[in-house]
Structure 1
């Protein structure tokens, strides 16, 4: 049996940050990747990371702070997220941003995104980020990556410490001894119908577009050894995908955060469009036939952001996924909603914008506490049919602020760590854009520092 200091399960952002951190500290590391390439759910993401107080913000005149970031996280999470995890994120977020920059990860733009009080969405190309970290790993002879190597079980030693990973390579079972710890960074369970039907039956019918390897393997392995789980009651799909997004092109647009409204098949608004898109997904999924439309005008269309994964509305138009009409009458006909209802809906909304009070749903901003809504009145008008997708699960094993997996009594399960989408407790009842990739990087590195400080298994 081969012996390592640390065995990492999964090669997404959490696993790769951990591999680089551990390798640079001189640890002997084995990273097991279930698929034939790195990236996992990370490379399917929109590429936003949530950081505050960065040089990018300063260069654009944005005043921000860790305190504001943490406050937004707690508010978006409905106050039920684990405050110790949020505080740990706040403590390490800025150094993590700089660490990523120092390791070649390119941050190319800054946008206002869901859940933030100021523009705080730092955009990366997820593929470029993973490739940069992989290049660094290749320079570290003490780090080994094994592809097509799914982990199957975790084993405890005589003292009750998890120190062995059972995995497969070429159909053969192998074992690896982890002298200082095992880090589960295997992602969620967006591709497990069994687990989704068990924990989120209300999402039956949502598009399934998560990472191909995300079947909940890591959660099951941790469960076997007594891991507690968190945030499962808050499972919701992600809103804003076109119904064709389950195919090769995962088209998504969040025009409501630039000023669009959302209407159902009856032509009526049904939600405050500025809230977290996970909560918007819940509301949209409750509409007749689970169909809804984002509706906007040229004022919002002019806010399209080239090559942005969420805000490139012109790209959606080029892909012929938008309805475009010179009048609301034509638009209503395109999307088959009652004209008089749509006109009344938009009239009421516009009046609320002018009065500074949305009497129907209380919308006062574009997203969270940022931006001012504008009337929908400038032709041409646009509509984007949108649905809910299960992209990431954001719920799973419970960890403490040191990324140690804990049991129902809050006690650390010796030798076991977790980071990234496989964990629960951090997001709570909502979801802040950029916090998933952010927590993957932050807690992947925290886990390594904690594991390497432990006494090695003899």
Structure 2
């Protein structure tokens, strides 16, 4: 296979890479997409199914008042001000346009839910497989696009002018290289499956399950590091709370009942956290509990908030799978989940009393999630409990980029010819994480990366596949 020239080479075929590919198609440039696994999608297929957008038609239909300004403020608040503001503002600038673009391309949005970190219901639910397949089909049907699966990128190289242009990869045991005249976009995911990198940067997460995409071993981050990329957000690496311990198997069972009103207790049947905060922050507290054992506890009134088919809120499905314990009384529930009965009764009594008074004296919970919703008492039988743990699903830290998706060196200077989008980008989330912002930033910055790469292309120089 001789070396071929392309306008753009995209590494990775998840949400970021596929949105970049479709954007490239719209601009009539020649593209090569290299995916090292034998199927597309990556960890995007394991996501919680939400994308964070504001002021959309779905929100308007539900009477939800929202704005770009509210979305940006929530992102900065959840990130505790550690976010790169320029990245968050770029997200805000392009979020509604990208939502409408995705719909135009055939991605289906089903509903809006209140999810972690949002002041109003803003989690726009997709079916990841439908979204990924739709974007892939659009790109793959274009004659200017070449997809290669099982193509493992090994190194990048600069040309004589110092621009990243050459990509070396292995496919079917053979080595190849290709030239990207206008840009290389790294969109290959994070490192949730790399024990080497997790031990180096997040030893505090040793007790968390490892359930990210199997290809998420940080190779894209290493490719950028070799070219001089800087790093951001590594001190804020956190696991995700809400998974059943069986999630390290083929089924990634997750339930965020606490955002519908459940409380969270440890093995001593004591609350230890404000249940309305980010599930990333809850995860940190959960790993500090005895043996990492925690439970979500709720009643029938909260159980009625189950959302059929929702990846995070379908509690009835979790019950049918045998992952939730059900009991007619709190005393019976304490026996089933093996926590001290007296302590559980006292915890529930104290919590209910505080809810009735409107003041959570222990942890200051005043909402269901972030600034939305009102807590209710846990008093209507039957009662439910689910053992819940922390998982390393996505890393949300990585290489530094600017608002144009250009990879930056330690001096905040762009590395010519190198762009990045998706999970491996650092600086956007800061110290926390807002549900839906990962898939959202993947789509938004995947498109931005292409626009930046091709903005100076002379039309006469465009490659068109014959």
Alignment map for 1:152-191 (pairs within 5 Å): 152-191=154-193
The partner residue of 2:50 within 35, 38, 48 is 48
- Separation in 1, partners of 2:89, 2:278: 21
Runs of 4+ displaced beyond 2 Å: 454-458
- 2:379 corresponds to: 377
- Separation in 1, partners of 2:197, 2:12: 19
- 1:86 corresponds to: 88
Q: What whole-Å deviation, never above 9, does each CA across 1:359-389 have from its counterpart, x for those lacking one?
A: 1000000000000000001001000000011
Note closer, same or farther for the CA distance 1:455–1:137 as it changes in structure 2 (3 Å cut).
Answer: closer
Cα distance, 1:313 vs structure 2: 0.3
- 2:428 corresponds to: 426
For structure 1, the 5+ residue unaligned runs are none
Cα distance, 1:77 vs structure 2: 0.5
- 1:397 corresponds to: 399
The partner residue of 2:328 within 326, 329, 337 is 326
- Separation in 1, partners of 2:441, 2:81: 18
- Separation in 1, partners of 2:46, 2:456: 34
- Separation in 2, partners of 1:249, 1:394: 22
The partner residue of 2:456 within 447, 454, 457 is 454
Secondary structure of the corresponding residue to residue 317 of structure 2? helix
Cα distance, 1:268 vs structure 2: 0.2
Alignment map for 1:223-238 (pairs within 5 Å): 223-238=225-240
- 1:305 corresponds to: 307
TM-score normalised per structure 1:
0.99
Cα distance, 1:60 vs structure 2: 0.8
Alignment map for 1:339-378 (pairs within 5 Å): 339-378=341-380
Secondary structure of the corresponding residue to residue 296 of structure 1? strand
Q: How many residues in Structure 1 have an aligned counterpart in Structure 2?
A: 458
Secondary structure of the corresponding residue to residue 151 of structure 2? coil
CA contact (8 A) 2:261 2:302 kept: yes
- Separation in 2, partners of 1:378, 1:241: 25
- Separation in 2, partners of 1:132, 1:224: 34
- 2:37 corresponds to: 35
Secondary structure of the corresponding residue to residue 348 of structure 1? helix
- Separation in 1, partners of 2:226, 2:349: 56
The partner residue of 1:97 within 75, 99, 106 is 99
CA contact (8 A) 2:400 2:409 kept: yes
Alignment map for 1:124-135 (pairs within 5 Å): 124-135=126-137
- 1:293 corresponds to: 295
- 2:408 corresponds to: 406
Secondary structure of the corresponding residue to residue 150 of structure 1? strand
**Is 1:22–2:24 an aligned residue pair?**
yes
- 1:438 corresponds to: 440
- Separation in 1, partners of 2:40, 2:186: 15
TM-score normalised per structure 2:
0.97
Cα distance, 1:454 vs structure 2: 3.5
**Is 1:248–2:266 an aligned residue pair?**
no
Alignment map for 1:55-74 (pairs within 5 Å): 55-74=57-76
Q: What whole-Å deviation, never above 9, does each CA across 1:167-201 have from its counterpart, x for those lacking one?
A: 11111111010000000000000111100111111
Cα distance, 1:455 vs structure 2: 5.0
CA contact (8 A) 1:84 1:401 kept: yes
CA contact (8 A) 2:140 2:147 kept: no
- Separation in 1, partners of 2:155, 2:457: 23
- Separation in 2, partners of 1:455, 1:399: 21
Cα distance, 1:286 vs structure 2: 0.6
- Separation in 2, partners of 1:336, 1:385: 11
Q: What whole-Å deviation, never above 9, does each CA across 1:201-242 have from its counterpart, x for those lacking one?
A: 111121111001111011001001110011111111111101
Q: What whole-Å deviation, never above 9, does each CA across 1:242-273 have from its counterpart, x for those lacking one?
A: 11101111110000000000000000000000
Cα distance, 1:115 vs structure 2: 0.3
- Separation in 1, partners of 2:175, 2:284: 42
- 1:198 corresponds to: 200
For structure 2, the 5+ residue unaligned runs are none
